[in-house]
């Protein structure tokens, strides 16, 4: 908690349960909504039906017992991010508003019409988050929303190797070229026809050496850039989820033995059904409350484009 908040006003689960909370949800409580019982912001975090380690199991990297043990014990997180035995269930209204507001990055709106230069480091260098996989998730979301990612460029490398000046110049010069274009066409059309010759995917081997290469997500040294900056995926992708990582809460389907190419005993399959009595994630369907962003949305009190609607349905 920042020092600007007086100690007496800060949240404490025992001594001050109604105090100021510094969670990622509470800072946007006017969008997520508030639980009237606790005063906490409603959460979107949900792992109900997620089969952790599914890809590893179907590839026979882990055994059926390991797969079942993992999902039986995974649990969830409470409002204070403490591990609990039960899985977490997010608020559906909060999820819908997260998509509508853009808090959950969707990819539509103005992002279809401007240059997007994605620059990432390798791991979590310098204390900042630089998960390489998320930059591929961004590209997937842009593709879904706009039909292509021609206005998106991906540069990567260790943070001490990606020079600031070429990155900044790429963006500035691209924008300048668009502004000088007085011809016909939409903003997206102008963005694409003024794309600079050096606006290509690639990675920085050193601050003075750039390797142009189509971006691919791989932890294998199968390309020069993947050798320099390998990328690993994330738990929900290994659980069968989309690379876009845009499903906050999945729709469920019944457990079907035909979905598991690796053999399970009858007892193991019974245990799987016991772990997921209401079903497992159906990643072929859109998520619960998943929708597009609402440009110029209002979350109150202004009535124009109002999308805020308190919904505490679990």
Check: CB of residue 311 under 8 Å from CB of residue 288.
no
Of the candidates 307, 44, 291, the residue with the CA atom closest to the CA atom of residue 145: 291
Task: Check residue 199 and give its pLDDT.
Answer: 97
- Domain presence at residue 28: yes
214/137 same-domain check? yes
Pairing of strands 209-212, 252-253: unpaired
Encode pLDDT of 84-135 as tens digits. 999 999 999 999 999 998 899 999 888 889 999 998 865 555 555 568 899 9
For the cut 90, the answer to whether the pLDDT of residue 160 exceeds it is no
Domain that holds residue 29: 7-50+74-101+246-254
223/169 same-domain check? yes
Encode pLDDT of 50-94 as tens digits. 999 999 999 999 999 999 999 999 999 999 999 999 999 999 999
β-sheet bridge partners, residue 76:
84
224/166 same-domain check? yes
158/206 same-domain check? yes
Helical residues (DSSP H) of the chain, grouped into ranges: 29-32, 54-58, 64-73, 92-101, 132-146, 164-180, 187-193, 224-228, 235-238, 266-275
For the cut 90, the answer to whether the pLDDT of residue 312 exceeds it is no
16/80 same-domain check? yes
96/114 same-domain check? no
pTM of the model: 0.87
Domain count, the chain: 2
187/232 same-domain check? yes
For the cut 80, the answer to whether the pLDDT of residue 300 exceeds it is no
For the chain, strand residue ranges (E) read: 76-77, 83-84, 116-120, 152-156, 202-206, 209-212, 252-253, 280-281
Longest pairwise C-alpha distance within the chain: 69
């Amino acid at each position: 908690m920042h020092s600007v908040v007086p100690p007496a006003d800060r949240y404490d689960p025992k001594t001050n349960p109604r105090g100021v909370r510094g969670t990622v949800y509470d800072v946007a409580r006017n969008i997520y909504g508030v639980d009237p019982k606790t005063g906490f912001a409603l959460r979107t975090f949900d792992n109900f039906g997620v089969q952790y380690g599914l890809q590893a199991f179907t590839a026979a990297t882990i055994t059926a017992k390991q797969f079942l043990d993992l999902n039986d014990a995974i649990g969830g997180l409470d409002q204070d991010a403490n591990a609990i035995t039960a899985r977490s269930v997010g608020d559906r209204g909060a999820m819908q508003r997260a998509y509508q507001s853009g808090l959950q990055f969707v990819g539509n709106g103005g992002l279809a019409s401007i240059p997007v230069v994605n620059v990432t480091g390798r791991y979590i260098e310098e204390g900042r988050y630089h998960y390489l996989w998320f930059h591929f998730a961004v590209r997937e979301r842009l593709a879904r929303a706009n039909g292509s990612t021609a206005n998106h460029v991906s540069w990567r490398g260790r943070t001490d190797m990606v020079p600031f000046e070429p990155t900044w110049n790429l963006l500035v010069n691209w924008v300048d070229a668009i502004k000088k274009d007085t011809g016909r066409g939409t903003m997206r059309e102008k963005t694409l026809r003024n794309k600079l010759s050096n606006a290509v995917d690639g990675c920085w081997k050193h601050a003075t050496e750039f390797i142009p290469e189509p971006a691919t997500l791989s932890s294998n040294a199968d390309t020069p850039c993947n050798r320099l900056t390998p990328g690993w995926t994330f738990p929900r992708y290994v659980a069968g989820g989309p690379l876009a990582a845009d499903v906050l809460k999945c729709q469920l389907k019944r457990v079907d033995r035909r979905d598991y190419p690796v053999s399970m005993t009858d007892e193991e399959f019974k245990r799987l059904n016991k772990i997921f009595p209401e079903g497992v994630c159906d990643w072929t369907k859109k998520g619960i409350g998943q929708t597009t962003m609402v440009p110029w949305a209002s979350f109150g009190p202004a009535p124009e484009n109002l999308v805020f609607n308190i919904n505490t349905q679990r």
